[in-house]
Structure 1
Amino acid sequence: MPAMNAQLAGTLDARRPARASANDSGAALRDDFLTLASHELKTPLTSLALQVQRMRRIGARRSEEPPTWGDSLDVVGRQVSRLTRLCDDMLQVMRLRSGELAPERQRVDLGALVREVVAGLAVELRAPHATISVDAPDGTVGCWDREQIGRLVFHLLKNAVMFGQGRPIFLEVKACAGGARLLVRDRGMGIAEEDQERIFACFERVGDVEHFGGLGLGLYLAREIARAHGGHIGVESSPGRGATFVVELPLEPAPASQARAARSSTP
C-alpha cells in the first residue's frame, strides 16, 4: 500500500503544474485525484456492466436457474450503476471547474424527463422508502441539455430521498414567465438558514458521512447546471419542516452578450 500511495502521489505531481501557495496546491491535488480516480474507476466499471448484461442474457435462456440468480444480478447491476454515476459526477465537477462543460442543447420536454428520472431512481434504489408524487404534464419544452438537466433532477430527487426521513416527496413542473419551474419538496429534517447557501458549494454537506454518505457533489452540480442554462436554483426550508428546492430555467438560451453579463455577476 505505501508503494501504491507513493506511485499515485508521483503520478499526480507529474500532472500538476507548480502552484504559488499551499492552498492552491491542495486544491489542485484534490482536482487531479478526482480526475484520475474517476477515469481509473470507469474502465473496470464499464467491463463489469457488460458482464452483468451478458449474464442476464444467459440467465434468461436458462429458465431452470433459481430466482436468486436474477436477484443477485440486479444487486450487482444497481451497484455498478451507482458507482458509474459517481464517476460521472466527479468528471462533471472537473469539467465545470475548468470551464469545459457547455450545454449540448436540444428540444427537451421537462415533464417527460422528470417522470423518466423518477422511474429510473426507483430502479436504481430498488425500493425508495418514500412515496414520490409527480405532477409533471407534457408540454413544458425548452432548449436544454437533456443529460445535464436529467442529472440536475436526479440529484435533487436523491437529496430529497436521502434527507426526507421516509416521508412523502413531491415534484412539480410548470411553466412560468419565459421559462419553466421545477419544485422538489420533502418533509424531512430541513435545513438551517445559515446552511442554505453553503450546501450548494462543492464537497459541502449538512449530514454526517456515517448516516448519509455521499461526496457533497450533487447540489453543487445541480446549481452549476442551472447556471449553465441561464437559470437558477434556490431552497426554502427550516429545521424540522422539510425543504423545497426551486429551479427556474429559461426556455431558450440568452443572447451571448446577456449570458456573459449574467456569468460576470454570478458570485
Structure 2
Amino acid sequence: MNTNKDSRNEPTKLLIVDDLPENLRALNAVIRADDRAVYQASSGEEALALLLEHDFALAILDVQMPGMDGFELAELMRGTDKTRHIPIVFVSAAGKELNYAFKGYETGAVDFLYKPLDPDAVRSKVNVFVDLHCQRMEIRRRSEEQQATNNELRAAQEELHYALRMRDEFMSMVAHELRTPLNTLYLETQMRRMQLDRGNLEAFGAESLEKMVARDGRQIQSMIRLIDDMLDVSRIRSGVLSIRPGWTELQDMLQRLTSDLSHQAQAAGAVFELDVKGPVNGWWDEFRIEQVIVNLLTNALRYGGGKPVRVTLAATEEHARVDVIDQGPGIDDGLQARLFLPYERGVGNGVPSGLGLGLYISRQLAEAHQGQLTVTSKLGEGARFTLVLPRGTPPV
C-alpha cells in the first residue's frame, strides 16, 4: 500500500476519539505506522481542540460518549472551514437496530463501523484514507509549485517586456542624442560648401575658422562621450571595466575641473563654490575619478536651476569625501530609488537630457574603487551627491 508523505516529510495525522482508554489503545495499535502520527482524545471537547490545531487525514469517532457525543462533534466539524473536509468514520457498540449508521451518514460520515472491530478491515479503510490524503497533499504541493512557476514566468515575461521597452527607448535616445551634434555638423558643412561654391573665401578668415573648429570640436566631443558611455556600460556588464590606480590628488583635480567647466556654468547662469581645506591624496584611477566628478558637476549645472553649485572636499586618514550640492528642485523618493539604474534620466529645464547612463557608470566606478556614490535630497531643497573613496596605499 502506497502511503506517500507530504513535501515536508511530515507524518500523516490521524485522530481517534473514544471515552474509554482501552478502546483508544486498541485502535491505536491497529492503525499506527511509522509514517503516521495518531492523536487521541477522550471527549468531544478535547477532540475539538486538536482539530483546530492540526490537519488530520481522518477522524475516527466513537458515537456514544458522555457530554458531547460523536454525532454532535461531527456536526461541529462540518460547520467549521478548517475541519469540514476531514473524512469521518463512526464507531459504535450499539446494535444495528438503532439505525445509528443512517444518522452517521446524515452528519457527513464516510463510513460506519460496529464493534467489535475487525482489525484487518479497519486497517484497510484507514490505509485508503491515508492514501487519499497523501494524494491531495501531493496535488496541493504540485499546484503550489505550478503557481510559483507561473509567477516566475510572469515575472520573467514582465522583465523581458521591460528590457525590450528599455532597449527601444534606449535606441531612440541614442538616435536623438547623436542626431543633434550630427545635424549641427551637417548644417555647418552645408554652409561652408555654399560659401565655397560662391567663392566667398572671406567667410574662412582666421577668426571664423577658429570658431568653426571650436564648434566642430564640441559636437565631436558630444558624440565621443555618448559612445564612451555605451562602451563603459558594455565593459561593466561583461566585467572587464579596467581600473588603473595611481597616486592621485583631489584638491588640484577639483580646482581644475570646476575651472574647465566655468564656461558651461556661466551658460547655465550658475557658479561653482569650491570649499577645500587642503590637498587630499589617495590611490585611485585619476581618469575614472575625473569621469565621476565631471558627471556630478555637469548634472548639478543641468538640474540646479541656475543657482550656485557647492563642491566640498574633506578627508580622514582612511577616506576622502567629495560632496556636490545643488539648489535645484530636488529629487522625489521614487526617482532616488531608480536614479543609479541605467537609462534613468532626470529632467532639467523640463527636458530629459543624456542617455541616463552617467550616474549608473559613476556608481559602478566608485564601487570599483571600493567606494560609494549616494544621493540625499528633498523636494524643494536641492540634492547632495556624495562620493566616498578609501584612500588606500600604493603597492610595495
- Normalising by structure 2, what TM-score? 0.47
Comparing both chains, which one has the higher relative contact order based on Cα–Cα distances under 8 Å and sequence gaps of 6 or more?
1
Question: Post-superposition shift, 1:237?
Answer: 0.7
SS at match of 1:172: strand
Q: What CA distance in whole angstroms lies between the structure 2 residues aligned with 1:126 and 1:70? A: 21
Amino acid at match of 1:241: E
Instruction: Say whether residues 1:91 and 2:231 are aligned partners.
Output: yes
Which 10-residue stretch deviates more, 207-216 or 155-164?
A: 207-216
User: Structure 2 vs 1, CA of residues 143 and 122 (structure 1 numbering), >3 Å: closer, same or farther?
Assistant: same
- The correspondence for 2:220, drawn from 72, 80, 93, is 80
Q: What CA distance in whole angstroms lies between the structure 1 residues aligned with 2:258 and 2:334? A: 30
Q: How does 1:1-267 map to 2 (within 5 A)?
A: 23=160, 30=167, 65=205, 67-122=207-262, 127-136=267-276, 138-207=278-347, 211-252=351-392
Question: Post-superposition shift, 1:118?
Answer: 2.0
Amino acid at match of 2:292: L
Structural RMSD (CA): 3.4
Structure 2 gap ranges (5+) = 1-155, 186-201
Q: What CA distance in whole angstroms lies between the structure 2 residues aligned with 1:133 and 1:71? A: 30
Q: What CA distance in whole angstroms lies between the structure 1 residues aligned with 2:269 and 2:349? A: 19
User: Structure 2 vs 1, CA of residues 208 and 161 (structure 1 numbering), >3 Å: closer, same or farther?
Assistant: closer
Count of residues in correspondence between the two structures:
211
Q: What CA distance in whole angstroms lies between the structure 2 residues aligned with 1:121 and 1:107? A: 24
Structure 1 gap ranges (5+) = 1-19, 49-61, 256-267
Q: What CA distance in whole angstroms lies between the structure 2 residues aligned with 1:99 and 1:191? A: 30
Instruction: Judge conservation of contact 1:231–1:247 (CA < 8 Å) in 2.
Output: yes
Percent identity, aligned pairs only, is 34
Question: Post-superposition shift, 1:142?
Answer: 0.5
Q: What CA distance in whole angstroms lies between the structure 2 residues aligned with 1:103 and 1:194? A: 32
Deviations along 1:82-119, whole A, 9 cap, x unmatched?
22112111111110111111310000001111222223
Q: What CA distance in whole angstroms lies between the structure 2 residues aligned with 1:83 and 1:125? A: 21
Question: Post-superposition shift, 1:80?
Answer: 1.4
Q: Which has the larger radius of gyration?
A: 2
Question: Post-superposition shift, 1:26?
Answer: 5.1
Q: What CA distance in whole angstroms lies between the structure 2 residues aligned with 1:104 and 1:203? A: 26
Amino acid at match of 1:195: L
Question: Post-superposition shift, 1:123?
Answer: 5.2
Question: Post-superposition shift, 1:202?
Answer: 0.7
Instruction: Judge conservation of contact 1:230–1:253 (CA < 8 Å) in 2.
Output: no
User: Structure 2 vs 1, CA of residues 193 and 177 (structure 1 numbering), >3 Å: closer, same or farther?
Assistant: farther
Q: What CA distance in whole angstroms lies between the structure 2 residues aligned with 1:211 and 1:251? A: 38
